[in-house]
Chain A
Amino acid sequence: MENILVLLVIGTIVFLAVHKVIRDRKNGVKCSGCPQSKICSAVDSRYETEEIRGSDIRLIKKA
């Protein structure tokens, strides 16, 4: 009986962890828990860049 109970506890913990990872993936979160996970693919997440017309210079401003 104790064994079944412990197995259930372990199963629940593992299920919750897997569920969280899968749910995050479905929501577009690549790394569970990461505060930047939804925006890290956007280059401009921390730095704004602005191209100067007629040149290959790009101004980089801290957001």
Chain B
Amino acid sequence: MTDGIKLEKKRFQYVESLIREVEVRDVLSSRQTKSDSIDRIVAHKFLGIPIFMMIMFAVFSLSQSTLGPFLADIFVGWIDGLYAVVEGMLGDSVSPLLSALLLDGIIGGVGAVVGFLPLIMVLFFLLALLEDCGYLARVAVVMDRYLKKVGLSGKSIIPMVIGTGCAIPGIMATRTIRDERQRRTTAMLTPFMPCGAKLPVIALFSGVFFKNAAWVGTSMYFVAIAIIILGALIVKKITGDSGKGSYFIMELPEYRWPSVRRAAVSMLSRGKAFVVRAATIILLCNAAIQIMQSFTWNFQVVEEGMEASSILASISNPFAIILIPLGFGTWQLAAAAITGFIAKENVVGTLAVVYGITNFINTEELVLISGAGTIAEIMGLSSVSALAYLMFNLFTPPCFAAIGAMNAEMENRKWLWAGIGFQLGMGYVVAFLVYQVGTVITTGQIGTGFVPGFIVVSLIVGFVVYLMYGKKSSGNEIIKEIV
């Protein structure tokens, strides 16, 4: 028996002795409750993960493939109606610039984001039901054993569960972790969990490019978990510090029938937050994007067909070059990824503005209106490059507010920059692998910009490997300083 297991046993014995002193049980521990019986399967160390996958798949099927899109179709019809009414009121006498700013920038951009509200609300409702019935607490228990093995604290699962709602409270919850390295590592890795703001981006890409395939959303959660485990292993190896043993003791709630009322309240409050965010930050960003897209640096109006001379294009172009090996090296997609750092929903809003698309939900209708084959054609993305773009947006650094929270919790600039660098590198490498491997599988040829991309990815991976296995001498001291 290792020292760690002995220590763990001692700790549990200590806790049990405390419980014996303060708790009177009517039921003998030998007698199994219904919750215990269910937990034997649901929280099982091998069955727990497949069960979690199946449940998440069911949740995404309902919210992104069946009920959600059905409700969204109706809702988007109303937004389109509003767009048509305002367009009719403006007529031809209004300046095209102002007309575009109001219609495409404000109504179109915000409408494109808000159009996903029904999908998001169905998802929030189902997640609230899962939480209310006591299942999400079991997920924490299932994941805990894997996180401890890779050098994270037993408590690291709490920030990650909270981070599925919003990364900021998730990162702030890391302060319950006493060990400094584990706390900082958890704060660095928590933003990889897809938060509520990333859901419209997932919904957009799974809806437009994968025909509402539920596997897209489900797999994003599991890719995030895999990245977190890999990241934790890398940090553990670099620092050479397995951290102080820390144990996650959680009072599991009894299983119960979930309250529809409580779930509805939770859904409405999160839905309201989504709308307020769209009407404030997203609206302002979309208006700014529309203005930057309409003018050149000399404040001349951009002529039709000369969009590449706009302020927005000239800012985004250098970034677009870096993104060519990932399969989406256009200034429009680069601009959307950049605005995603302000708020992740902005990716959807900016794509709507720069491509002049107001309706991402009912794509059949859009095809009829625009004459283009699909949105994929308008954006110039294959399904593989779309998946790479989605993963790039999900696994690069979070929004600025979350980075601010990381700064506050890490209390160390070197850790902060190492964290941001790690997130950027991870997003780039994952998107590169998805695009290049996916392109080889689907077309039998390597993707655009393979050689420069391979060099960049090799440098990133080489640097990380050097940090992990570099000489123990002065090199590792510097690395420990950095990480």
Contact = CB atoms under 8 A, between A and B. Distances in A.
Given A14-B287, A40-B169, A6 B94 contact: yes
A37 to B, nearest CB: 8
Contacts of A17: 279-280, 283-284
Interface in B222-277: 246-251, 253, 269-270, 272-277
A47 B173 contact: yes
A60 B176 CA distance: 10
Given A47-B158, A60-B248, A10 B284 contact: no
B22 to A, nearest CB: 11
B175 interface: yes
A10 B162 contact: no
Interface residues of A, number: 36
Nearest to A20: B280
A62 to B, nearest CB: 6
A14 B101 CA distance: 11
Interface stretch (B11-19, B206-214, B333-341): B11-19
Interface in A7-46: 7, 9-10, 13-14, 17-18, 20-21, 30-36, 40-43, 45-46
A10 B249 contact: no
Interface residues of B, number: 49
Contacts of B90: 2, 6
A52 B18 contact: yes
Q: Which 7 A-B pairs have the closest CB atoms?
A: A33-B276, A40-B169, A33-B273, A35-B269, A6-B98, A32-B280, A17-B280
Interface of A: 2-3, 6-7, 9-10, 13-14, 17-18, 20-21, 30-36, 40-43, 45-47, 49, 52, 55-62
7 contacts: A6-B99, A10-B102, A33-B272, A46-B169, A47-B173, A47-B176, A57-B249
